[in-house]
Amino acid sequence: MLARPHTVLAGGTDFYPARVGQTIDEDVLDIGGIGVLRGISAGVAGWRLGATTTWTDLLRADDLPPLFDGLKQAAREIGGRQIQNAGTLAGNLCNASPAADGVPGLLALDAEVELASAAGSRRLPLSDFITGNRRTALTPGELLVAIHIAKPAHHARSGFLKLGARRYLVISIAMAAATLEIADDEDGSRVVAARIAVGACSAVARRLPALEAALAGATLDHHLAERVDPAHLAPLSPIDDVRGSAAYRSDAVFTLLRRLLLGFVP
C-alpha cells in the first residue's frame, strides 16, 4: 500500500475541506485509529507528541510545564472546538499551510519531527521539515510519527499571539510565538535564550534569529519589548492577500512581538 501514491488521513480537518463537492477516489491511508501514534509522553530528555495527538489532547494535558503554554494558546485558536477535537498536530505540520497556527509555536519550541518508513526512521528539525507553501521533506512512503521537544537548559515559558479579522474560526493574518529561557540572579530575572517564530508572514513560518540574539541577556522587565527592531523582521516576506496587505503584516507583527514579550514580564 505505501508503495503506491497515497494521501494520509488523520483528523480529516484539512483532507475533507480540500475535496468539497468531489468524489474521493484516491488511495487514502487512514492513520486515525493507530493508538501508538497518539498521545503525549515525557522522558528524561524531553517530550514526545504522537502524530495524531489532537489539539484537545494537548489542551487537556495538565502535567505539561509552562514551556507548553504558547502551544496551548495556539491550540485554542485553531478553528472551533470541533476542529480542536479532531485536528492533529502532525496534520497541521504536514498540511504545511503558511498560516498553520501550530507551526510558530513548535518552531519556538525547537521541535523535531520523527519520520518513519519501511526503510527506517529519521529525525529532522521542524524548520527543515516544512520546505515551502504546502511542501514538506516527506519522501514517498514516509510518515510523520511524532514530534519531539527537548527539555530546555533553563526554566522556560512560552507564549503565542494570533491576529485575525474575527474571533473564532479565522485564518491568521499574522501570528507570533516565543519561548524564553529564564534564569534568576540577584538583579531579578534574565532571558538566557529566546526562540521567536512568526507565521503567516512568509511561505513557511520563520524564526527571527536577530531578535533572539537581541533578547539574550535581557532583563525581564517592561523594557523587554523595546528590544524589538524592525530590522529583526528581515527573514519575513509577507504578501498582499484578501486578509491584509504585506506592509500591514510587517507593521502588525512588530506590535504582536512587542506585546508577546511584554506578556512574559511579571
Task: Report if residue 30 touches another protein, rule: CB under 8 A.
Answer: yes
* Residue 259: other Cβ atoms inside 10 A: 14
Chosen residue from 202, 225, 245, 263 binding another protein by CB under 8 A: 245
| In the complex, minimum distance from the CB of residue 30 to another protein, in angstroms, rounded to a whole number | 5
| In the complex, minimum distance from the CB of residue 156 to another protein, in angstroms, rounded to a whole number | 27
Applying the rule CB under 8 A, the residues between 170 and 189 that interact with another protein are: 170-171, 173
Task: Report if residue 165 touches another protein, rule: CB under 8 A.
Answer: yes
> Burial letters for 137-173: b for 16+ Cβ neighbours within 10 Å, e otherwise?
ebeeebbbbbbbbeebeeebbbbbbbbbeeeeebbbb
Q: Residues 113, 49: contact at Cβ < 8 Å?
A: no
Task: Report if residue 86 touches another protein, rule: CB under 8 A.
Answer: yes
Task: Report if residue 120 touches another protein, rule: CB under 8 A.
Answer: no
Binders of another protein: how many residues, by CB under 8 A? 46
Task: Report if residue 250 touches another protein, rule: CB under 8 A.
Answer: no
Task: Report if residue 262 touches another protein, rule: CB under 8 A.
Answer: no
How does DSSP classify residue 241? B
Task: Report if residue 9 touches another protein, rule: CB under 8 A.
Answer: yes
Q: Give the amino acid at 264.
A: F
Pairing of strands 174-185, 155-163: antiparallel
Task: Report if residue 168 touches another protein, rule: CB under 8 A.
Answer: yes
> Burial letters for 79-101: b for 16+ Cβ neighbours within 10 Å, e otherwise?
beeebbebbbbbbbbbbbbbbbb
Choose among 233, 232, 235: nearest CA to 250: 233
Measured from the CB atom, the residue of 18 and 44 that comes closer to another protein is 18
Task: Report if residue 242 touches another protein, rule: CB under 8 A.
Answer: yes
Chosen residue from 58, 130, 252, 257 binding another protein by CB under 8 A: 252
CA distance 196 to 204: 14
| In the complex, minimum distance from the CB of residue 192 to another protein, in angstroms, rounded to a whole number | 29
Chosen residue from 21, 35, 43, 120 binding another protein by CB under 8 A: 21
Task: Report if residue 66 touches another protein, rule: CB under 8 A.
Answer: no
Task: Report if residue 39 touches another protein, rule: CB under 8 A.
Answer: no
* Residue 57: other Cβ atoms inside 10 A: 19
User: Cell for 65?
Assistant: 510545564
User: Cell for 2?
Assistant: 505505501
| In the complex, minimum distance from the CB of residue 223 to another protein, in angstroms, rounded to a whole number | 17
Largest CA distance in the chain: 65
Binding site for another protein (CB under 8 A): 9, 11-13, 15-17, 20-25, 28, 30, 32-33, 56, 76, 79-83, 85-86, 163, 165-171, 173, 242-245, 247-249, 251-252, 255-256
